[in-house]
């Protein structure tokens, strides 16, 4: 619930606030003030827990992944997992659950309890591949409040505080971070009605794509979403999100920050060249 208040501010402060308004990520003066206050208060009302899905085999990155799991691949001398930690720490998310599977022991060896990276890490382990939703069911006992879930094999930079505010304003059960690509034909493309996602169209022809917005592999989820996940192998994209979309509970959050897919050797090379580390 939000309440209206009146503030009297110095004109110089108002000027600084207005410079933050871009009409997209930060929509108006009130929105800008709210985000500044949330940041100053340590994002007290933002999620405190995140799940990183790190159990995949990284088949398209062989032969590199013959030796190491994909989340331990390096970009600028940091693993992909460490870059994700940087994003979460920036938004005061320090409780991290990592779902491991393929060569998970190597992730445990490198990351440990996470303290040297400024986070607290616990693990859930997949005895067999569980997809993108199944691991969340394994971690259910740790996910009792709004949480973030994300893939381990992409580099992302977005305002999680603003995404969380949008998630709550929409009364969503799930909010999907959406990034814009020039050619969406290799991705799941969001068909939108306002901020609500009606469906994802999988790998449409460029001319037939309903938008250029694709799933960026990061989500804000309510614990109730876990009730939509069956035991065993399950995919958020195919098994969970379509159900939420039909019920009008799936929303999108377009963002303009950095996003790099590292799914192939060519894309990995681009990420190394173009990614700017999160301060």
Nearest alpha carbon to residue 184 among 273, 254, 271, 278: 254
* Close Cβ partners of 81 (under 8 Å, ≥ 6 residues apart): 52, 54, 71, 72, 98, 107, 110, 111, 152
Which H/E stretch holds residue 16?
Answer: helix 11-19
User: What are the beta bridge partners of residue 260?
Assistant: 155
CB 156 within 8 Å of CB 218:
yes
Q: How far apart are CA 234 and CA 264, in angstroms?
A: 24
Question: Which residue out of 27, 171, 203, 206 is catalytically annotated?
Answer: 203
CB 217 within 8 Å of CB 156:
yes
Q: How far apart are CA 28 and CA 20, in angstroms?
A: 9
154-156/78-79 β-pairing: unpaired
Phi and psi dihedrals of 53, rounded to 5?
-90, 105
CB 107 within 8 Å of CB 81:
yes
Q: How far apart are CA 50 and CA 56, in angstroms?
A: 18
Tell me whether residue 274 is one of the annotated catalytic residues: no
Long-range contact list for 5-14, CB < 8 A, 24+ apart? 7/33
Give the Cβ contact number of residue 129 at 10 Å.
14
What amino acid positions are annotated as catalytic residues? Answer: 203
């Amino acid at each position: 619930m939000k309440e209206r208040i009146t503030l009297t501010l110095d004109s110089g402060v108002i000027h600084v606030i207005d410079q933050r308004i871009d009409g997209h990520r930060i929509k108006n003066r009130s929105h800008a003030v709210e985000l500044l206050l949330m940041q100053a208060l340590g994002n007290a009302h933002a999620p405190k827990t995140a799940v990183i899905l790190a159990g995949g085999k990284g088949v398209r990155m062989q032969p590199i992944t013959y030796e190491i799991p994909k989340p331990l691949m390096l970009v600028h001398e940091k693993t992909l997992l460490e870059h994700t930690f940087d994003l979460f720490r920036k938004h005061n998310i320090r409780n991290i659950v990592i779902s491991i599977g393929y060569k998970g022991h190597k992730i445990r060896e490198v990351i440990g309890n996470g303290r040297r990276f400024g986070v607290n890490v616990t693990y859930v382990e997949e005895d067999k591949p569980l997809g993108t939703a199944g691991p969340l069911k394994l971690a259910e006992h740790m996910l009792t409040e709004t949480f973030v879930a994300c893939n381990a094999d992409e580099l992302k930079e977005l305002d999680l505080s603003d995404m969380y505010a949008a998630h709550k304003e929409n009364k969503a059960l799930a909010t999907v971070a959406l990034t814009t690509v020039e050619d969406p034909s290799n991705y799941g493309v969001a068909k939108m009605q306002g901020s609500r996602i009606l469906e994802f169209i999988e790998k449409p022809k460029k001319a037939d794509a309903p938008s250029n917005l694709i799933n960026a592999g990061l989500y804000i989820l309510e614990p109730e979403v876990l009730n939509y996940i069956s035991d065993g192998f399950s995919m958020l994209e195919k098994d969970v999100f379509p159900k939420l979309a039909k019920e009008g509970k799936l929303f999108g959050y377009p963002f303009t920050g950095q996003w790099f897919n590292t799914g192939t050797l060519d894309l990995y090379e681009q990420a190394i060249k173009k990614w700017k580390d999160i301060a």
